[in-house]
């Protein structure tokens, strides 16, 4: 009777898929795993901010105003006695909402769709999409985002206030809904171009591959070829670009809030916290009011960039 080990040796070896191989490579990358853990920790805290934060973001105690960091208040308190640690967590929640919504709407839906259509069909459609993208690229990203947000925000706010009066529902503007919509809308409008150009380049190289030509010869429709044969093979660069783009969007959201064009009080934002405490006297007397929000933003952007490098190393088939 043959042993289990003998039977195992005689079995034909099975090849590993790219995703299994990439996952194993990524798990061996300590830098990537640490960055992923940091992002999951920060974004998880932001998502569950009402459960994680020890205090409400607007809970005041004037008797403990400007209290230095300690056990009761790990990040100290601000001028109104509000817990800075809790406000940072709720500020991360704002960053989570804006970055995920902007990347999903602009980078993923719009960017991938435009890149697939442009690269596969080419000709007139390709020219129109790429020329529109070049118009967006003619302006610095953050400058264009500021221009769009500054133009849209007053008009959208006025329209929503009118809607509140007409419908009789109050608190929509105060809840920060308009700020969220304007910020992630402006970021989505700008962020699709880079994704579309990368996807288009990948599609141009893949649509002449033998397996695509074989599918076309067998009568497969254009959309089946795009989504069944081409799209799965361009996922690795998309995943890397999403990771790097999330860090860029997070930084842009903070800049918009810092300039007064993003999410504004009473909704907490890391950019507003930096703006409120961006004074030389603060650094001399209570530096923690500025250092903790700035440090949080720096960690988020830095972690996303390093995670993108780690994902590129793991998903690039040329790196062995």
Domain borders along the chain are: 25-61+89-315
Token pair for 48: 């569950």
pLDDT bin (cut points 50, 70, 90) of residue 42 is very high
- Angle at the Cα of 261 (from 289 to 147), degrees rounded to 5? 135
The pLDDT value given to residue 13? 46
Mean pLDDT, to the nearest integer, of 86-106? 87
Please say whether the beta carbons of 86 and 135 come within 8 A: no
122: alpha, beta or left, given left = phi > 0 and alpha = psi -120 to 50? left
pTM: 0.81
The pLDDT value given to residue 12? 45
Give the model confidence (pLDDT) of 43-79 as tens digits: 999 999 999 999 988 888 888 888 889 888 899 898 8
CATH pick for 25-61+89-315 out of 3.30.260.10, 3.40.50.2300, 3.50.50.60, 1.10.3720.10: 1.10.3720.10
The pLDDT value given to residue 292? 92
d(CA 185, CA 79): 33
Q: How many CA atoms lie within 13 A of 181 on its CB side?
A: 14
Give the model confidence (pLDDT) of 228-281 as tens digits: 888 888 888 888 888 888 888 888 888 887 777 777 777 788 888 888 887 788
How many residues in total does the chain contain?
320
């Amino acid at each position: 009777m043959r042993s289990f080990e003998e039977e195992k040796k005689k079995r034909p070896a099975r090849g590993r898929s790219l995703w299994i191989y990439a996952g194993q490579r990524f798990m061996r990358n300590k830098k990537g795993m640490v960055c992923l853990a940091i992002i999951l920790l920060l974004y998880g805290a932001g998502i569950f901010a009402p459960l994680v934060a020890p205090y409400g973001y607007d809970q005041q105690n004037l008797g403990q105003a400007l209290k230095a960091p300690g056990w009761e208040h790990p990040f100290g308190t601000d001028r109104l006695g509000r817990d800075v640690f809790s406000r940072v967590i709720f500020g991360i929640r704002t960053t989570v909402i804006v970055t995920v919504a902007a990347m999903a709407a602009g980078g993923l839906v719009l960017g991938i769709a435009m890149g697939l259509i442009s690269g596969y069909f080419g000709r007139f459609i390709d020219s129109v999409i790429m020329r529109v993208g070049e118009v967006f690229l003619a302006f610095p990203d953050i400058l264009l985002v500021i221009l769009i947000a500054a133009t849209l925000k007053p008009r959208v706010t006025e329209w929503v206030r009118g809607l509140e009066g007409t419908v009789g529902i109050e608190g929509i503007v105060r809840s920060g809904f308009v700020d969220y919509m304007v910020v992630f809308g402006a970021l989505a409008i700008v962020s699709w171009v880079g994704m579309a150009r990368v996807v288009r380049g990948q599609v141009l190289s893949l649509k002449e591959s033998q397996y695509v030509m074989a599918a076309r010869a067998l009568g497969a429709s254009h959309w089946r070829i795009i989504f069944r044969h081409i799209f799965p093979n361009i996922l690795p660069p998309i995943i890397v670009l999403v990771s790097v783009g999330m860090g860029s969007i997070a930084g842009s959201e903070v800049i918009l809030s810092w300039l007064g064009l993003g999410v504004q009080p009473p909704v907490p934002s890391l950019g507003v916290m930096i703006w409120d405490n961006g004074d030389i006297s603060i650094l001399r007397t209570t530096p923690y009011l500025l250092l903790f929000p700035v440090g949080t933003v720096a960690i988020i952007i830095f972690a996303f960039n390093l995670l993108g490098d780690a994902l590129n190393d793991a998903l690039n088939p040329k790196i062995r």
